Structure 1
Amino acid sequence: MKKVFLTLLLVLSLSLFAFQPVTLVDDLGRVVKFDKEVEKIVVAAPAISDFIVKLGEKDKVVGVTDFDSYITDVEKIGNMFPLNVEKIISLNPDVVLLTGGFQEGEVLKLEKYGIKVFVINPTTLNEMFRDLSLVGVILGKEKTAHDYAQKLRTRMLNIAKNTFTWKEKPRVIYLSAYGSVSQMWTCGTGSYLNELISYAGGINITAPYTGNNGWFAVGPEFVVKENPDIILVPSYYPGDKGAYDLIMNADQFNDINAVKNNKVFIIDGNKASLPNTGLIDLLGELNNLFSENK
């Protein structure tokens, strides 16, 4: 009788930890049902790989794009767009993780062949925390993801609470320039980088404006008129000073405070352009930068 009881107890315990079907809504508003445990994943957007690595489930990834720097030792599927559907089919994934925007049209291509697709496309810090939790549910690491998201959120809020009391805050602009300063991309309301600048203790001078996901182009006249204290420029690989040199050497910017006072700072363009947990590291870096230059 004791053996029977122990056996029943073991079966009950195992059933509690068995996979339970779950239905989730992705960032395109699509309802996606997971009927079985996800064991094989293709990641078609590098930013999402960061979530998977941080949750300790890298071994479930069977394919990534050629541009993935988070997971490099699995099969390559080629470009982010258009996707190599044949290659993805050959990997027989349980789900393909995509981002929004230019990849949205790839959803129907994959579904045509019965491949499950889930779209992760956060545009704000809160959406990033939520999507980290969603990936955790998909991976069967719901609690781990929830706890990690809460840890990151607490770190963000602690920085924001501290900078809220600052009496003086630097006026900041982010400028991404290629070839010339005639057109430069920047971040306004609706972008996670605008949130980072604000939480880190800066006043983003482009906050009153917005564009596609908060990003839009400005000309040199705008920058001269606003006269920022600090200019942030991206660098995407060691030694990349393209945007920095353009800003510092532009005749139009000679009298801008940020240029005159040598307050043009290079930040990691990869962190700034990928909506994942690296944003919180960048937040800390910006906070240190602004606190030293306010």
Structure 2
Amino acid sequence: MSRFLLIITLILLSFNAFSAERVVILAPAAGDIIHKLGAESKIVGVTKNLEGFPAAAEVGSHLKPNIEIIKSLRPDLIIAGSGKYFTDEIKAAIGVRTYIYDPSNLAEILLALRDLGKEFGKAEVADTVEKSLKTQISGLKKPACRINVFFEVSQIPLMSAGTDSIVSDIVTRAGGYMSVKESKKVFKTGIETVITGKPDIYIYQIGPMNKNPMPPQSRNEYRSLKAEYVRVDETEFSRANTNAFENVRFLNNIFNNHCSNR
């Protein structure tokens, strides 16, 4: 029995030995999961728009990471977003193991949570967090009426969230329907398209992509719309992370209240 326990102990120690210890985050949305895992102390570098890691060095933006700074931090893991920006050339130049974090729905967020839990040696913590997140979206009430939703990513140019975005999955799970559909994460659209879609709920975000929009209810071009307007924080709503689960419940409440007040 003692030999068996010794073998198990050695196996567990070997797993911990390979857990990430010096990590650079180039996918801002992943920062939330790192906090949930309690692995902040292992982060040595972050992008300039990612807060909550005071001990980490700034390594540029997720669009233009500073390769020299990243290499100087001697990371053993990089958490990057879409390969569109973290190209094979950048990957080769840095020469460090990479995890691509680019979920577009809640199921993929949970998968990334499990993956990163293993990477940081926090598998049990990840399991606990996953159960909590699933509880958040259990028992939702289906809206009693159809809710068409338009999501404004930016006012100028007018851009909307597509069906491949986390926003689309949040809206769908909350019981709504995207009023303008395109198989992209974000796409340009027009005022006439918005009006033709007759949204019941018009959601607009405030943040880096939509810094100072005029409230849509005050815009002359939307005078014919009979929509309820909802303002959200871009960093809390449009980043694919654990906040998405809370946002599903948030929108579900709004949708149900809208149906009740019709």
Q: Same fold (TM over 0.5)?
A: yes
1:30-179 equivalences in 2 (<5 Å): 36-105=18-87, 107-159=88-140, 162-163=141-142, 166-179=143-156
Give the TM-score, by structure 2 length: 0.88
CA distance in 2, matches of 1:76, 1:251: 42
Unpaired runs of 5+ in structure 1? 22-34
Structure 1 pair 178/42, CA: closer, same or farther in 2 (3 Å)? same
1:141-195, Cα deviation, whole Å (9 max, x unpaired): 1232133223313422432xx21xx33133221123334xxx4222232222112
Structure 1 vs Structure 2 CA RMSD? 2.4
Structure 1 pair 254/88, CA: closer, same or farther in 2 (3 Å)? same
Maintained 8 Å contact 2:158/2:189 = yes
Whether 2:161 is the aligned partner of 1:205: answer: no
Bigger mean CA deviation after superposition, 126-135 or 109-118: 109-118
Tell me which amino acid in the other structure corresponds to 1:257.
K
Unpaired runs of 5+ in structure 2? none
How much does 1:10 deviate? 6.5
CA distance in 2, matches of 1:243, 1:204: 21
How much does 1:241 deviate? 7.8
How much does 1:51 deviate? 0.9
Whether 2:229 is the aligned partner of 1:256: answer: no
Q: Which residue of 2 aligns with 1:31?
A: none
Tell me which amino acid in the other structure corresponds to 2:10.
S
Query: SS at 1:242's partner residue?
Result: coil
1:181-200 equivalences in 2 (<5 Å): 183-200=157-174
CA distance in 2, matches of 1:113, 1:171: 45
How much does 1:284 deviate? 1.9
CA distance in 2, matches of 1:156, 1:37: 31
Q: Which residue of 2 aligns with 1:30?
A: none
How much does 1:15 deviate? 1.0
1:7-31, Cα deviation, whole Å (9 max, x unpaired): x57744531421339xxxxxxxxxx
Identity among equivalent pairs (%): 23
Tell me which amino acid in the other structure corresponds to 1:291.
N
Whether 2:213 is the aligned partner of 1:243: answer: yes
Maintained 8 Å contact 1:111/1:117 = no
Structure 1 pair 42/53, CA: closer, same or farther in 2 (3 Å)? same
Structure 1 pair 157/195, CA: closer, same or farther in 2 (3 Å)? farther
Structure scoring higher RCO (CA < 8 A, sep ≥ 6) equals: 2
Instruction: Select which of 217, 229, 235 maps to 2:188.
Output: 217
Instruction: Select which of 195, 202, 210 maps to 1:231.
Output: 202
Query: SS at 1:274's partner residue?
Result: coil
Q: Which residue of 2 aligns with 1:27?
A: none
Computing the radius of gyration from Cα coordinates, the structure with the larger value is: 1
Structure 1 pair 289/61, CA: closer, same or farther in 2 (3 Å)? same
Structure 1 pair 114/236, CA: closer, same or farther in 2 (3 Å)? closer
Give the TM-score, by structure 1 length: 0.79
CA distance in 2, matches of 1:169, 1:223: 17
Maintained 8 Å contact 2:78/2:96 = yes
How much does 1:95 deviate? 0.7
Structure 1 pair 11/241, CA: closer, same or farther in 2 (3 Å)? closer
Maintained 8 Å contact 1:224/1:256 = yes
Maintained 8 Å contact 1:85/1:110 = no
CA distance in 2, matches of 1:200, 1:133: 24
Maintained 8 Å contact 2:166/2:239 = no
CA distance in 2, matches of 1:51, 1:37: 16
